[in-house]
Every structure is written in C-alpha cells, then in structure tokens.
Amino acid sequence: MQGEPTSSPVTGLSSVSVVLAGSGGAGVMTAGNVLLEAAALSGYYALMTRSSGPQIRGGEAAAMIRIACAPVECMEGSFQVLAAVDWDNMQRFAAEIPLAGDALLVGDPARGDPPGAFTVGGTRYKGVELARIAKEITGGRANMVLLGHLAALLGLPDDALGQAAGRVLGSRPGVLEPSLAALAAGRATAVGSPAGLQLAPAPACPGGRWLLTGNEAAGLGAIKAGVRFVAAYPITPATELLEWMSAALPESGGVLVQAEDELASINMVIGSSFGGVPALTATSGPGLALMMESIGLAVAAEVPLVVIDVMRVGPSTGIPTKSEQGDLNIAIHGLHGDAPHLVLAPNGLGDCLRTTRWAVHLAEALQTPALVLSDQFLGQARAVVDRPEDPPFCARRLTAGQPDSEEYRRYRVTPTGVSPMAIPGTPRSAYTADGLAHSEDGTPSSQAADHLAQLRKRRHKLERHEFGELWADVEGDGELVVITFGSCTGPLREALAGARARGLALRLVSLRLLAPLQRERLEHLVADASRVVVVEQNPDGQLYRYLRSELDVEVPMDSLHKPGAQPFHPDELLDLLLQWSRT
Amino acid sequence: MSGEAVVHVPGHYKSAVKPVWCPGCGDFGVLNALAKALARMAVAPEDVAVVSGIGCSSRIPAYTSCYGFHGVHGRALPTGTGLKIARPDLTVIVTGGDGDGYSIGGNHFLHACRRNVDLTYIVMDNRVYGMTKGQPSPTTETHWSSKLAPHGTGLSEFHPMAIALASGANFIARGFTGDPNGLADLIVSAVETPGFSFVEVLSPCVTFRPEQKDWKKIVTPGSFTATDDAAEAARRIFTDDGLHLGVLYAGTRPPYGPPIAPAATVPDWLEEVFSL
C-alpha cells in the first residue's frame, strides 16, 4: 500500500493503524479484541499485536491494531491514533509506537496530559472524559467509552461494533449491556472530532475469512496432518500453541503431555513416533537448544517428528516477548555430525497452517525430524485473513508388514533411502532403533562401510525427494531479486508493491523450505538477476551467509538485516530497497 | 498377535546379538531374568518395547527379541513415557544404569515417579560408570577412589529408593542379578502392578568394582513382602543396609492415563471457531 495515497477526503483510508493503551486492568486487550472483531465483521482485514510491561500481572499494556481494505501481514511504520485509558508508564512504549506526524492522541483529561514523548511534532490531542462518562452507566467501563470513540473516528458501523462486543464479552453475565451503553456514549463523544481517519468502504463479502493467530493456525495444521501426540514444556511465545492443542487434541483422538523439561518433551515425542503415532513439540530458542542432541538421535534412528520453534529474540533468555529470526543457524547447523533433516518456515499467519501440515507430511514421508521456524510475530499476532490455503497433506509413513520370505532389516538401503518402518506390535519385524551407528538390520556397528552406507541413505532420502512447488513463493519478475523467509515476507510484499508502483522491477523469493536447500531451483531463479538482496530479521544475516555458502552464482548478493525487537515495516523496507537499487 | 498358539520360553526373548558386556557382568543375569519374566507372562515379544539410554546396561534392548529403543544418555524414561502414552497396548520396560538414571537423567526419574505412567523401570546399579571406564556415579560410596576423583567424591550417596517413594512411584523393589529367579518374580510383579514400577537391581561391575562380586554372599533375598503403607516403606528404606531384597512398596495410586476420544478424526469445530 506504500507509495499510493492512503487517504483522501472522498474515499477514506485504505489502511489505518491505531493503539489502545492503558495500565493493567484497564481492559485495553479486551477493547482491542472487540475492535479487531468489529473490523472483521465490517468486512475489513485487520491485524493485532500486543505489548506489555515486564510485570506478570497488572502492568501497562498496548494493543496495536491495523485495519485495512486488503490483506495485511505486518504493522505499518507509524500509528495515526493513540487512544489511552490512562497515561501511566506509557512513555515506555514510545519506541514501539512511532506516531505519524499528525497523529491523534485521545485520553481522559482527568488522567493528566499525554507524556512528552508522544506530543512532539504535529500530533493533536482530544480529551474525552472517559471515567466520568463510564461512571454514569451502571457497570460501564472507560475502555468501552474509549473504544466507542475510536470506532466512530474510524467509521466502523454501529451494528458491527455491537456484534463484536457480543462475541468477545457475550459469555460474561452482566457485562454486555453496560458495555454497549458505554460504546454508544463513547461514540457520541466523537461528534466533531478531527476528520480524516475514516476508513474507505470495506471490500465486498467478508465470508470465508478467518480470525486467528499463527500459533493456532500451526496447531490446526498439525492436527489436520495427523499429529496425535504432543509433549512440550511451557515457553514464551509458544505456550498458546500448546494451550490451543491441549484442548483440541483430546477431541481428535490425541493427547498433550506437559513434560518436565525440553529434554523430556523431545524424547517423549520420539517415543510416541517410534510407536507409530505422529508427534510434535513446540518451543522457542532456549528449548530448541536443549533438544538438539535428541533431534540428532531422531535423524540417526530415522524417527519422524516435528519441532515448531516460535522464535524470539536471542541469544540466551533474550527478549521472550519480541520477534527475531535468529534461530536459523541452529536449526540448520545445530546438530553434531552430518545429520540431514528438514527446516521449514511459514511466511504468514495463515501459512502457519499449510507449512506445519506440510512439515508433518514431509517428516513422516522421509522419516526424519522437521523443524518449523515460526516466530513471535507470526505466532502471537491475531489477524483477519482469507481462509488459509490448506492442501490435504497427511502423515503417511512407509511401514513394514509381516515379512515372511525375507528377514526384516529396518535400515535397509533402498533406492529412495526410505526404508519400511516396523511399528511395535508387528510380528517378526522387531528391531532396536539406535543412535549408535548401525548396519542395515539396526545392529550397532563401528565399521566404516556401515557408517558410510547409512550416511548416504539418510542423505539420499532428502536429495531424491521431489518437494514440488511449495519450496518457495516466487512473486513478480525483474532483474533485482529479493530473497527472504518467514515473517519478513509480509512487510516485503507491501514494500515491493510500492517499489513496483515506482517503476522498480523486482522479484520476491520467500523460502518455505530452508533445508534441504533447493539449490538448483534457487540458482535458476537468480541466474538472470543483476543483483540479489537477502532480507531477514537477525543481527548478523544468517540466511545471507547460508545462501552465500551454498549458492554457486556470479550475481552480486547483498544482505539487508536488522536484529529483533523491532520488526521491519513496509515503508522502511521500501526506502532501503530504493536506496539499494540506486547504489 | 501372531495368531497361532505359541509356547513362550525365555530363549524366545533373546536376540542373536552378542553382548558387549565383560564376562561375569551382572547385566547378563538381568537379561536372563527379564527373559524369564516375559516368558512367564506369556506376552508376545513384538508387544514388548525395551527402551534405554546410554551405558553398559543400556545396551540391553538389542539383546532381546522385543522392539527396542537405544536412545541418548539419560532420556530413556521420557522416551518410554511417550511410547506408553501413545501406545497403551504395549508392555514398556525402561532399562539403564545408575549414571544414566540418577545423574544425567535424574530429573526424569523424579517426574516419572510423579507421573506414574504404567511402565517398569529396571535400573542395573553397579555404583560406577563402566562404559567410560571407572568414574564415580551418584550411588558410588563417598570415599571410593578413582582416577577422576582420587580422594573420593566427598558427596553423599544418592538414595534411589527414598527418592522414588517420596516422588510417588507406585511400586518399589530391590533385586539382585545373582538371583535370576527372584529377580524375574520382581519384574513380573512390577509389570503387573499398574503405574510406575521401579526395580533397583544390584548388578556387579566385575571390571571396575570387583569387590562387588562379594554381593552374592551378603544379599538377603525375600526380605520384604509388599506393603501399601508408605510410612512402613519409608522405615524399611531408611533402616535397611541396601542389601535386602524384595518388594519394599506396592501402592494403589491409579496410573496416569490422559483421556483420549475414541474418534481419531478432526472435529469440524476445530476450524469453525476461526471462521467469521
């Protein structure tokens, strides 16, 4: 959307970004969820991220919401409205909430003035007596007055707002009626407010859209692919994925076990999969680090499994609540020995469903671990999306029947490298799965020839598999090629639309399959390029270095990367791409 | 599972793979006792999974004719736990040594006792790391001298029975590898008792702890009959010299078994909740 006028008095905004903020207990997340639902019910696309203070409970919180006429997979670089129930400690959000030059601040005069960090430049201020108005309604709350005001500013229809409130608050007795009254009172205070924030008419037909987080999409993809066992240890920002699956799995004939640590969870998953039940765990960087030894075991013993890594800022404990793509190196290179395995990355919230589903399918088909690199943004952002792509990938493992003529050899070298796996309970096929180097029948062996044969077999499984078109999303055409993965794809898509509007011919390659790298296909895509830039969110350009080490191409390659905590925004990327194209 | 009537004898439960163990190693006796126990229970080898970590005793799965899993050091219990929860129809036997189970895998031991999944954990305790050639383990006596700890560890010895009882294990027994029939009895009881069953086996290391050969002269088989009184079990555990054999505790705690819907299909509501 960047590069085109986003506002005009006649048509309204095609995209608007607002913040609802307040101290703990003020109900800003509830208000944010109602706004998100109201936007969805009005036919808009929308996206919500959240930020809160370090307190476990009761800290200041901000719901950042973008509402747009077209699908959105990222936040914009600045916000047009900051609406606060109160201003306590709000200055700590100043870096996270960059305001547009003429942004509107909305607050309760009784709670003081907005912090100086927000009143620089040409920002405007509108005082609304939130607390006084709320007090006049029995059970009324200031957050709903504020939300009513904000919804009116944006031009969201009344009925959608009421319906959204019903969906979010409906189950709580005695809450909905006063909330509706407070919303109406808040709406009345917006009469005479500055214009220019009204949204353009919503695109037709909201039917078929979904409202969900990437974590939920990933969990759904896993279950639809056939995962029936999950073991995991709580960790931010993967916990919601586990909580969603904990409720969903038992209804699907599956089970979730809370393990004592990540060492246990990955080995429980291995145990389940050895028993023939497709299994998954979800974690974040610190947990993935603990699992590495056992993921290597799964490679050597050829046990299929899926690990979803919802990446957060590292190293070490890092910033648990913020996004970064810093686990690419450990996901690809973290296993000791040469241990071929799968690494995938969803490139959008809805795509978390498809990519996880594909990961389960690939892990089972190739009898090897698949690591799925989601991240805090994809996992925790809640968005209105078109119904996600959902190809019917399922867990289908090559299993052994009851061999009568030939003695069963679990690790038999086959043309594909995949050997039939006997599931416990199958007579005359018992074998011992082993992390020790082994011969074809699974017996431990320290012979070089056995080691080499099994190394090659495991390599061949991945090299000889036809991965199809899903390995990358390739969009646009041009001599300039931008390569990325994961959550950088959303802002890049927008930036590239803007670049194209300025006459720049660009091709975007968003890699969904990071390992095994589809080297020849990627080399083919960049063969005619004049330049390649690799865009990612980590401090040292991990994808760039990986591609530099793997690709044999003449074309100059540049790296565009920044560390986590602050995601890329489309306008920032557009500026960088324009600069880059000129140098 | 195989259809025709089968007479189960201990030999059916052993594989042709030659053990790496030293001649005279106590672990041979555990393998024999396990085979006897499985034959006595007449369970088909393919319906049994033997799961282990790393160490001399952890090599045991491949020496059986059952399904085996020889995983990484210290993680046998989680592997067996995942397998049993996913496949409750299988008989799951987790095996290993004192280093694997009480040191690197110590945390899993606590939580396996707490979780009380219906599996049997057999620890072959020789109070030494044998595979790495003679370092002290958690159960090694404080003053035992070795190359790695020439003046002894200076640490108090880990007390697995006390930890198991305190952590909620439902069945606690001590056996001796030199008494394979008695040990087989204990293993049968352990497998047949629902929940987490812990069998601590005195299994001498003839190479690095040759003095343990004398255990056969000083152990007392049949010292205990099962009690479900935890206080009595605690008295036995804390007053015993560690050489008395038998079932020290057999509780009645129901095993962990998460409720699972019979249908393995995906209900429509899973995605309908997201639809606007």
pLDDT band at B262 (very low <50, low <70, confident <90, very high): low
pLDDT at B264: 64
Q: Could you give the count of Cα atoms lying within 13 Å of B14 in the half-sphere of its Cβ?
A: 17
Contact yes or no for A263 and B90 at CB 8 A = no
> Could you tell me the domains of chain A?
15-188 (3.40.920.10), 210-386 (3.40.50.970), 470-582 (3.40.50.920)
pLDDT digits (tens, 9 = 90+) for A386-408: 999 999 999 999 999 866 656 89
pLDDT digits (tens, 9 = 90+) for A507-522: 999 999 999 999 999 9
Cα–Cα distance for residue pair A274/A58, rounded to 1 Å: 45
Question: For A188-193, which contacts have Cβ atoms below 8 Å and span 24 or more sequence positions?
Answer: A188/A148, A189/A128, A189/A129, A189/A133, A189/A145, A189/A148, A189/A149, A190/A148, A190/A149, A190/A152, A190/A153, A191/A152, A193/A104, A193/A126, A193/A149, A193/A152, A193/A153
Contact yes or no for B82 and A435 at CB 8 A = no
pLDDT digits (tens, 9 = 90+) for A238-283: 999 999 999 999 989 999 999 999 999 999 999 999 999 999 999 9
C-beta separation of A322 from A385 below 8 A: no
pLDDT band at A3 (very low <50, low <70, confident <90, very high): very low
**Residue burial A404-416, b: 16+ Cβ < 10 Å; e: rest:** eeeebbbbeeeee
Q: Between A and B, how many CB-CB pairs are < 8 A?
A: 192
State both tokens at B128: 């030494």
Count the Cβ atoms, other than its own, within 10 Å of residue A445: 18
- Residues contacting B213, CB < 8 A, separation 6+: B24, B204, B206
pLDDT at A480: 93
Our separate counts of H helices and E strands in chain A read 17, 21
Question: Which residue in chain A is spatially nearest to B111 when comparing CA positions?
Answer: A260
pLDDT at B4: 60
State both tokens at B10: 């201990």
C-beta separation of A302 from A341 below 8 A: no
Count the Cβ atoms, other than its own, within 10 Å of residue B168: 18
3-state secondary structure A299-343: HHHCCCEEEEEEECECCCCCECCCCCCCCHHHHHHCCCCCCCCEE
pLDDT digits (tens, 9 = 90+) for A163-189: 999 999 987 778 899 999 999 999 999
With beta carbons under 8 A apart, name residues in chain A contacting B80.
Answer: 271
Cα–Cα distance for residue pair B232/B240, rounded to 1 Å: 12
pLDDT at A435 over 60: yes
pLDDT digits (tens, 9 = 90+) for B203-235: 999 999 999 999 999 999 988 999 999 999 999
* Residue B43 backbone phi and psi in degrees, to 5: -90, 140
Contact yes or no for A253 and B46 at CB 8 A = no
Question: Which residue in chain A is spatially nearest to B269 when comparing CA positions?
Answer: A248
pLDDT digits (tens, 9 = 90+) for A96-135: 999 999 999 999 999 999 999 999 889 999 999 999 999 9
ipTM > 0.90 (yes/no): yes
With beta carbons under 8 A apart, name residues in chain B contacting A263.
Answer: 74-75, 78, 107-108
pLDDT at A1: 38
With beta carbons under 8 A apart, name residues in chain A contacting B51.
Answer: 271
* CATH node for B21-274: 3.40.50.970
Contact yes or no for B71 and A294 at CB 8 A = yes
* Lookup result for tokens 């085979």: B35
- Residues contacting A7, CB < 8 A, separation 6+: A13, A196
pLDDT digits (tens, 9 = 90+) for A317-373: 999 999 999 999 999 999 999 999 999 999 999 999 999 999 999 999 999 999 999
With beta carbons under 8 A apart, name residues in chain A contacting B65.
Answer: 430
pLDDT digits (tens, 9 = 90+) for B238-260: 999 999 999 999 999 999 987 76
Contact yes or no for A252 and B62 at CB 8 A = no
Shortest Cα–Cα distance, B259 to chain A (Å) = 7
Contact yes or no for B266 and A224 at CB 8 A = yes
Q: Where do the domains of chain B lie?
A: 21-274
Cα–Cα distance for residue pair B212/B141, rounded to 1 Å: 12
Across chain B, what does the average pLDDT equal? 95
pLDDT digits (tens, 9 = 90+) for A24-74: 889 999 999 999 999 999 999 999 999 987 777 778 899 999 999 999 999
**Cross-strand bridge partners of residue A124:** A104
pLDDT at A321: 93
State both tokens at A24: 């703990």
Shortest Cα–Cα distance, A100 to chain B (Å) = 31
Question: Which residue in chain A is spatially nearest to B262 when comparing CA positions?
Answer: A253
With beta carbons under 8 A apart, name residues in chain A contacting B69.
Answer: 270-271, 274, 301, 432-433
Mutation target for A interface from B2, B46, B56, B90: give the one with most A CBs within 10 A.
Answer: B46
Closest to A358 in 3D by CA, of A376, A377, A340, A371? A371
DSSP B100: I
pLDDT at B24: 97
Cite the DSSP H helix spans in A114-228: 130-135, 142-154, 158-169, 176-188, 214-225
Q: Terminal CA-to-CA distance of chain A, rounded, Å?
A: 25
Across chain A, what does the average pLDDT equal? 94
**Residue burial A324-358, b: 16+ Cβ < 10 Å; e: rest:** bbbbbebbbebbeeebbbbbbbbbbbbbbbbbbbb
| Dihedral-angle region of residue B274 (phi above 0 means left; psi in -120 to 50 means alpha; beta otherwise) | alpha
C-beta separation of A250 from A275 below 8 A: no
Shortest Cα–Cα distance, B221 to chain A (Å) = 33
Q: Terminal CA-to-CA distance of chain B, rounded, Å?
A: 49
* Residue A383 backbone phi and psi in degrees, to 5: -145, 155
Mutation target for A interface from B58, B83, B115, B121: give the one with most A CBs within 10 A.
Answer: B83
